[in-house]
Amino acid sequence: MHFLMKLLYMLLSLGAAYWSIQAFRNNDPKNGVLIDRTTFGRIAKYTVYSIIVILSLVVLFRYKNYVDKYVEKIVYNTEREEFTFVKRSLFGFRYNYIASRFKILYTENKFLNDKGTNYFDIDTKEEFSIPYRDSWIKQDLFSHLISQRIKI
């Protein structure tokens, strides 16, 4: 659902850029000649289109990085001592990532924290962005992780 909304926003912004060029062209017949026949007009038109496409791709790339790390829900299995992290794919489909509690590491590394990562799996290097508020509500599940205080 989130991906479809981002895609819709991208298409709407491209449509708005196209509409603005067409509105400028239809406002006065001279503008259409200026845009289509002059070098400056073509440069301005394709610059507007290029900026919109580039910004849309940047937004999509940043959204992908965010979705790859963000954890919606955490379930702890006490028998197996495993975490089940519920995450979403780029297209909005849910999937589970299962990891042993001994393989999840809390980090205070500034570089990783700036990227939005506060936990990661030691074996696969899978990064997780777990909101601190949710982690403190279920303090007993995260006490062994938070108490590690290991800096990279």
Which of 30, 53, 69 finishes a domain? 69
Does 12 lie in the same domain as 31? Answer: yes
- Residue that is written with structure tokens 């290991």 in the block: 150
Last residue of a domain, one of 10, 41, 69: 69
Domain boundary among 69, 94, 122: 69
In tens, the pLDDT along 11-22 reads 887 888 788 878
6 lies in the same domain as 43: yes
Q: How many domains does the chain have?
A: 2
pLDDT in the model for residue 146: 52
Question: Does any domain span residue 152?
Answer: no
Q: Is residue 151 part of a domain?
A: no
Check residues 7 and 51 and name the one with the higher pLDDT.
51
Q: What is the pLDDT of residues 25-37, one digit of tens each?
A: 888 888 877 877 8
Helix (H) / strand (E) element for 22: namely helix 2-27
Give the pTM. 0.64
Percent of the chain with pLDDT over 70: 84
Report CA 100 to chain centroid distance, whole Å: 26
Query: Of residues 146 and 58, which shows the higher confidence score?
Result: 58
Residue 22 lies in domain? 2-69
Q: Phi and psi (nearest 5°) for 33?
A: -65, -40
- Whether pLDDT at 152 is above 50: no
Q: How far apart are alpha carbons 11 and 21 in whole angstroms?
A: 16
Show contacts of 88-96: CB within 8 Å, 24+ apart: 88/2, 90/3, 90/63, 90/64, 91/3, 92/1, 92/2, 92/3, 92/4
Scan for tokens 């991906």, then name that residue. Answer: 3
Is 83 inside a domain boundary? yes
